């Protein structure tokens, strides 16, 4: 019998990219919030009732409203901690494989201060996370621990700054494309550094991982992002450049100029060395991915 891959959170950005990837296997079952309530153990058990030892579950479901989580703690914890635990219990019970997607926000990424230098070295999976400065980050870190505790052979994949970049996309790249048409100048923070990751590239990488049967990719934490570290300001300038607009119309500012309910990591670049050390193909440079996102976009429709 052919193995089935279950995509949990299939209606989201990454779940959609997984379904539309040319590397998706023949047997995929896409599960949205209408198909299961990840926060409810019984709902998860019902949705995964046919799960077998050769099957794979890829969990893309998450409470990703970083600012909203600050005041909606119970919901964030239920989705980001309890939900993954329910999935891990289900996969562990039958010996199926779980690939759980996490985030750079599990690292504190503290900014430099007068008495403490800021981080400049990309994070490795075994670096101490510290105390995440957001409810979102703390709930995702708790989710990682819940997954590992319930299913020690599960694989956790951290990623960052995921986008599809279409003109109507609500992500950062799509937003910059729309703002370019609406404003003479756009002001963007230049003191938050991370790794922009094109959703179709991440989806392809996850399919490679899901098909990998080696023990080197089981029970580990891996980082998967497009290569390189840049600020949001630099990404915005690159978007303008790619669409033929003048990058000088993007003006830099500081995080303090635009306070948000949830603090953003000042530095959260993830190293890809763990991914390649596991024998997986490295993701390409962020700038090459951005070029294709704008000029040769992959189908990301749900």
Task: Tell me the catalytic residues.
Answer: 136
CA–CA distance, 230 with 196 (Å, rounded to integer): 8
CA–CA distance, 173 with 266 (Å, rounded to integer): 19
CA–CA distance, 141 with 271 (Å, rounded to integer): 18
Q: Which of 108, 46, 141, 152 is nearest to 264 (CA)?
A: 108
Burial code (b: 16+ CB inside 10 Å, e: under 16) for 214-239 equals: eeebeebbbbbbbbbbbbbbbbbbbb
Q: Tokens 């994949």 appear where?
A: 157
Structure tokens at 182: 């609406």
CA–CA distance, 281 with 22 (Å, rounded to integer): 16
For residue 216, what are the contacts with CB-CB under 8 A and spacing of at least 6? 278, 279
CA–CA distance, 130 with 144 (Å, rounded to integer): 14
CA–CA distance, 288 with 146 (Å, rounded to integer): 36
């Amino acid at each position: 019998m052919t193995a089935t891959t279950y995509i949990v959170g299939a209606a989201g950005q990454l779940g959609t990219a997984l379904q539309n990837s040319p590397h998706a296997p023949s047997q995929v079952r896409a599960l949205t919030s209408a198909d299961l309530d990840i926060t409810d153990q019984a709902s998860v058990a019902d949705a995964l009732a046919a799960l077998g030892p050769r099957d794979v579950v890829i969990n893309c479901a998450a409470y990703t409203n970083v600012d909203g989580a600050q005041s909606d703690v119970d919901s964030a914890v239920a989705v980001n901690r309890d939900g993954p635990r329910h999935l891990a219990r289900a996969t562990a019970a039958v010996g199926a494989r779980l690939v759980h997607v996490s985030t750079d926000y599990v690292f504190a990424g503290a900014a430099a201060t007068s008495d403490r230098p800021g981080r400049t070295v990309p994070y490795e999976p075994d670096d101490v996370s510290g105390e995440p400065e957001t409810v979102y980050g703390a709930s995702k870190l708790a989710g990682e621990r819940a997954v590992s505790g319930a299913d020690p052979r599960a694989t956790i994949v951290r990623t960052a700054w995921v986008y599809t970049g279409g003109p109507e996309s609500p992500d950062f790249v799509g937003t910059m494309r729309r703002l370019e048409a609406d404003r003479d100048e756009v002001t963007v923070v230049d003191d938050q550094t991370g790794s922009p990751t094109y959703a179709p590239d991440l989806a392809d990488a996850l399919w490679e991982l899901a098909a990998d049967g080696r023990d080197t990719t089981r029970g580990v934490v891996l980082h998967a992002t497009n290569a390189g570290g840049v600020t949001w300001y630099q990404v915005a300038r690159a978007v303008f450049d790619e669409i033929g607009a003048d990058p000088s119309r993007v003006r830099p500012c500081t995080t303090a100029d635009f306070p948000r309910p949830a603090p953003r990591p000042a530095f959260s670049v993830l190293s890809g060395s763990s991914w390649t050390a596991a024998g997986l193909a490295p993701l390409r440079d962020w700038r090459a991915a951005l070029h294709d996102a704008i000029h040769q976009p992959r189908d990301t429709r749900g």
